[in-house]
Structure formats: structure tokens, C-alpha cells
Structure 1
Amino acid sequence: MNTILIKNAQIVNEGTIINGDVLIQDDRIAEIAESISVKSADTKVIDADGCYLIPGMIDDQVHFREPGLTHKANIATESKAAAAGGITSFIEMPNTVPQATTIDLLEEKFAIAKETSWVNYSFMFGGTNDNLDEILKVDPSKVAGLKLFLGSSTGNMLVDNPETLEEIFSKTDLLISAHCEDETTIKQNMSVYVAEFGEDIPIEKHPLIRSEEACYISSSKAIELAKKTGARLHVFHLSTEKETHLFSNKKPLSEKKITAEVCVHHLWFTDQDYATKGTKIKWNPAVKTQKDKDGLWKALLDDRIDVIATDHAPHTLEEKNNNYTKAPSGGPLVQHALAALFEMHHKGFISVEKLVEKTAHNPAILFQIKDRGYIKRGYKADVVLVNPFAPWTVNKENILYKCGWSPFEGTTFKSRVTHTIVNGVLVYENGKFPNKSVPERLTFNR
């Protein structure tokens, strides 16, 4: 039996912090108490020395680029970086090459993850204008949900046929996650700036092209359709204060039919950062104003926004260093998301308890993930130790992403992840990877 005893931790769970010990046996949490004695000579003892012990982050939106785009990233490299960043489970998006828009192609991705991932995994099935028959074959107990691009799609994944969209919303039992930006508005805005600047549009215009109005039009339409059809809708990566008013905190999360996510970069950066970061912070939806950032924080803390994710989407530096019209949107974040969130905790934005709620408890509730997201007896042992006072600076030498860069390069964080345990296996310890876990396909109580 594999046994790990974590002693002297500040255990963060369900809105409380208690000092104590946690015993892990095989892949489960066996005991939580003020003091637990060593069970056998082969028990690995980790002295937390007052560090926070938190449930591993469940990242509900990543792009790990495999298959087909592995010059940027792959499941092995990015899940290893995720483990170093305290993420123990991820949900990956369908816009790979080929796109995961059939059951067979989806299962090919699951097969890759089974062999190469460092952490637990699931994948979104991709919706198109013409694959409803395939959507209806998906087993909701084995797949995280359905991803619909209502803007900013790749390939043929833009679902822009209103009749098709209503049919999908009406017929699927899957949780629908949507990227909401109105393509018509974006194209109109883009034409204005192309006429003025040609190919050399300043990056500062990005949030004016992919504007507040583009986001709001699309989000409000999706919500209206969800209310009309009774569909279960989760809106990804809110970026505007205006959109936050579309969501409610009047019901507990487990009873909500319409939910929302915010990503780390929209909580950290503003449009003032384009001057120094350039296309490295070009995301879709765009990083917008300080007013938007403040509004996102307010909605996150009052529970109109339910979860925090990364939207990890790496590209090579060569790709990102193109001019505005050619530089792809997205950036790598899984290694640095928790460190950034703890930095925001130090600055007074969020409590550790709320941070854990939004990164672990709520993703588990929202997606109905079985036996994960909490530090509870009998639950899977996916836990992370965070030293709140161990400063480190992000640089080329310690970046683990295959793309080799980070929008946080040069940033010094006060806190660091010291240990990551996945299914009871210590996979990350103080900069090293002592063991490879046996990651599991997430299952869902549906």
C-alpha cells in the first residue's frame, strides 16, 4: 500500500482553514485529523511546516494542442507544467487537428492522455453546424461536456446557424460550454481598423476590435436561448463588466442552469499592459479595461461568476511575434495560474478559502465530477501544498511549457507550489518530478 502522511498543514476546505494532518493511502484520502501518527516504516512523511494544503486545481478550459499542433505543445509537456503549477485535473478543448467532432476522434484524444498525461483529464466534444447526430451519441457520464464556438472558431467549428444552434440546445443533455463573441461585430470593427492601419494595426486596438459589445451580444443571445430551451449553459472566459450582469447569485451553484467562468489573465492584466506585453497578451476574448477587471473581480467574489480557469493556449514565440493581424491569440498559463492567484490573495483581492472554492470545489460541482475537488475522507487524493512565503521569479530556465515563454516572465511571485499529489502519487516536489502518476479519466455524476 502506498502511504503518504502530510503533517502540520493549514488544510483549506469548504470555507475553513484548520491546522492538522492528512493521511493518504493508495489513491484516496484516508484520514484528516489534528494529529496522525506514522502508520508504517514505508510511509512517506511530508512536513508541511504550516504551508497551505489545498485540493488540486481543476482547470475547466485548456488547449494542449494534441493532436495536430504539437509544435506548440502536447498533452505530456503541458500536463507536466500543470502538475508543477498545482493543477491536478484538466478539461481540454476540441479545436485540435483533427477536431474532436466525432466519437472516434474524441476517443483518440482520451487514448493519448491515458498514455502521456501527468494529471487527470477529460475532453470537450466539439459542436458544429452539422454534427448533431454525433453530439447525441456522447455519454454525459464519461465526457466533460459540449464546446460551442459562438465566435473566434478554428476550422469549421463556428456554430452560426440559428436553427442548428436552437436544435442543439434543445436536444442535448450535455453541459454546453460556449465561447461568446459576435463575429459580425468583430468583422465590422476589424474593417474599420484595416482601413486605417492596413496590416499594422496597433495591438492596443485589440479590445476595440473584439469589443465589449461583441462579447455582450453573443453572451446575451446564448443565455436567452438557454432560458428558452432549458439547456445547461456555461459561458467561458468572461472579459467585460457588462456581461457579469447577465448572471445571478440567487441560487447555490448546484442548482444553477446558467454559469460563468473567468480566466486568470482577465483578472490580472488590463489594456494598459499592451504597451509592454504586446501580442503576448493577445487573447480572445481580449484583455480589456480596468473597469472590466474590477467588475470581473466583483462578480467573482459575489458568486455571479462561478469558477476560475486558465484558457491555457500556447503558441510559439515566432508565431506570437508577428504583427497584430497575423499573431495568434492565446498564451500559456497552467504553470503560473495558482501562483498568480496567491499573489492576488497577498494583495487583498481574494481569500485563500475563496480561491479554493473557485478553482477546485466549484469546478467539481459545476461539472459534477466524481470524488474530486475537496479534501475529504474517501475522496481521490489530488492535493497540493503551497508555501505562501517562498518568493521566486519566472524566467526562461524554470518555464516548463513546450513553447518556452510566459506572459509572466520577469514577475516575482511570493508563493510557490512545493508538492503536487495526483491520485495519491507524489508527482512534483520542489522543482522535481520524483514519480509519474497513473492519471485517470474524469467521471461525472450524471
Structure 2
Amino acid sequence: MATPVSRLLSPHSLPSSPPHLLRNGAPRRRLTLHGAALPLLPPPRHLRLVAVRGDGGRRFVGTLGSWSGRAARGVRVSAITGDGSGGGGGGGGGGMGIAAAAVATVVLAVMNRVLYKLALVPMKDYPFFLAQVTTFGYVLVYFSILLIRFRAGIVTKEMLALPKPQFMLIGLLEALGAASGMAAAAMLPGPSIPLLSQSFLVWQLILSVLILGRKYRANQITGCLLVTAGVILAVASGASGGPFLSEVKFFWPAVMVASSAFQAAASIIKEFVFIDGAKRLEGKRPDIFVVNSFGSGFQALFVFILLPFLSNMKGIPFAELPAYLNRGAACFLNIGGNLKDCHGAPLLPLLYITLNMGFNIASLNLVKLSTAVIASLTSTLAVPLSIYVLSLPLPYLPEGTDLSTSFLIGVATLVLGLLLYNFPQKTADHVKKD
């Protein structure tokens, strides 16, 4: 992890007395601080700090205030940190902060997947209702938290004034991803769905290059491909039997791959919002609840517009949707008669919703601290871990299963890919004049 700029560079670290700046009566051309060369002639009005990654890419870090010949006033910088990825436009968290956020994301991702399976025990007839609760309920929760943080001074008016079209694009992409994924899932055999969804990571790599101008080293590309292959092996180990893609027309697998592309694009746009927001907010990245709230708000809007299409995809005629939602709410709350099949509600659905919200927050926080690709790789690790947990006897799911050799090979391949992607690289910190 690189040394924070706040310790490398402060108003006191920029000497103002002539003996420090003059040599034999002539001004020095450059002043070097921990490997960063500061051009002193001609005196610029502003300096812009940029971290240079091992792959040659750059990311904005902060600005120095007005510079008047011998002294700097109003130094405004944020910490330069190396995430070791070499492909990141990483954020304001140090290496330990990113590691802690990654561990939290993995733990919450595993719990999220396990609790979703458990929540479907009482809600097995109402998964579409559960999906709408998470979509529309989160908007209320996120904006409530955003209001609290705004009143506490954590969220500023400048953050709230960030351009809304980018949040609208996030919401549209996520809604299209949900709609196309739901349509394809209705036509595809179950085992093929998680396998085709692994194209998400490949789309992220491609789109981060096109949208963010990111460059990846060979070991990072190979690592991502190994992660994808590992997940496919792990998931396919339990996919024996039943029809597979050979009996399905090409169109629906293509729609599922396009669904992953929409979702991957939304994650990359979120990372762009953090990077662009840092430029607009003078080095300070937007609060995650600004991104979560507005992104979720626009997603709910577009899902509402697509609701007739989505309900039909789930086999629920739109005219019958109100009655379906009423029955789903009764099962969710476990109230009313004839609900013997809703045993476990509302505890299990509420636990899932809570953990799902925590996972979404942790994942977005990891995007803010590092990159969308790193957050995706971290969440991918939860896939085999959750499969292992679900293979054990659990409450409401007492029947355990045995894991095959291909599952263990897939897990080993996935871990190897993660290690290869995060192979440490040296980074350099430079100062670039505006």
C-alpha cells in the first residue's frame, strides 16, 4: 500500500525559505518528495495529483490549492493507495480497507445466497412477489438512510447535485437486465442459467476497457478466465441430468448472455459515477447511498413500467397480478388461512431481505474502494462457498448432498484465478501539473 499523500505532502513539507528552494542563488527546477517530482518553475497556480498504476493508467487523486512561488496554500488531497490490481481506478481505501471490504462482501454474499434459498421454502409459490419487495422496498429504505446521512452532514448538497442521467442509465440497465434475464430463464433449463450468467465477468472486462479506458495485464485477463472456468466447473458438477443447451434454440441463451451484459454495464457505470464524482467534488468520492438511492429509484421506475411484461414472463397474467400480490403478501407475513405451506415466514424472507440489502451496500462500497471487476471477482468466490454450505443439512433444508470431484477442481481453479488476478505489482505515484 502506498503512503498516504497526507503524510507525504502537507503545507509544512513544502519549504518556503530560500535555502530550501535555492542552490547557488538559482531556483531548483524540481523538488522530489518520496519519488514524486514537483516542478517548481514556472510556478503553476494549481497542481493535480495523479496515481500512475503499473499498467500505465492514471487516476485522479486530488488537487493542491494555489501555489505562489515558494509556498502552497490550501492543500486539498486524498490518500493515494495501491490496490495491487494494476487495473483499477481504485478509490480512497487503503489495502487493508479493501481487504476488509472484500471479506465482508464474501461473507454477506454467501449468507445472501443461502438465505435466498431458505426464503424460497415458504415463498416457493411467490418468488415474483419477493423480487418486487426487494426492488420497491429498497428505494424507501435507501432514501431514508440517505436523508439521515444528509442531515448528519455526511452527504453534501454537491453530492445530491450530481448529474441524474447517469443514475437513470444505471436504473434502466438493471431493469433491462432483470427483464431479459427473467424472460430467458423461463425458456432455459435450470442448470444452464448459472453457467450462462458467468459471462457477466467477461462483459465487465470488455466494458471497463471501452467505458473507463482501463488496461489489463495478461495475468489479470487469464485470472478472470480461470475464475469463470472455475465457477462453471463448480456449478456444472450439480447440473447432471435433465435437458441442457443442446435442446434449446440459440436465441434464449443469447438473451441470457445479453442480460449479463446489461448488469455488467450497470456495475461499470456505477464505478464511473464514483470516478467522475471525485472530479466534480474535488477528490472526494460520492457517498455510496447517493449512488444506491438514485440508482435503485430509477430501477424501480423502469421495473414498474415493465411490470406487465415481467408478470407475463412469470406466468402471471397482468389482470391477475393484484390478486397474486395479495396472496404473496399474506404468505410473506404468514397471516390469514390456508397458509400451511408458508412455514418459516416472515422470519426467513425478512432475514434474506436484510442480508441482501447488506450485501448490496458492501458490494457497492467495494466498488467505491477498488473497482467493479474486483467486486465481481470477490462476489464470485461466494458461488462455490454457498454451494458447499447448501450441501450441508440446514434448518428447513434437512437433506444434504455430496459434492463431486469436479466441484473441488472448480473451486481450486477459481481460487487460482483470484490469486493470479491479484498478483502484486509495483505502483508509482506521480504529480501531474494542470
Same fold (TM over 0.5): no
More relative contact order, 1 or 2 (CA 8 Å, 6+ apart): 2
Q: Give me the TM-score of the superposition, normalised by structure 1.
A: 0.26
Bigger-Rg structure (1/2): 2
Q: Give me the TM-score of the superposition, normalised by structure 2.
A: 0.26
Q: Which has a greater percent of strand?
A: 1
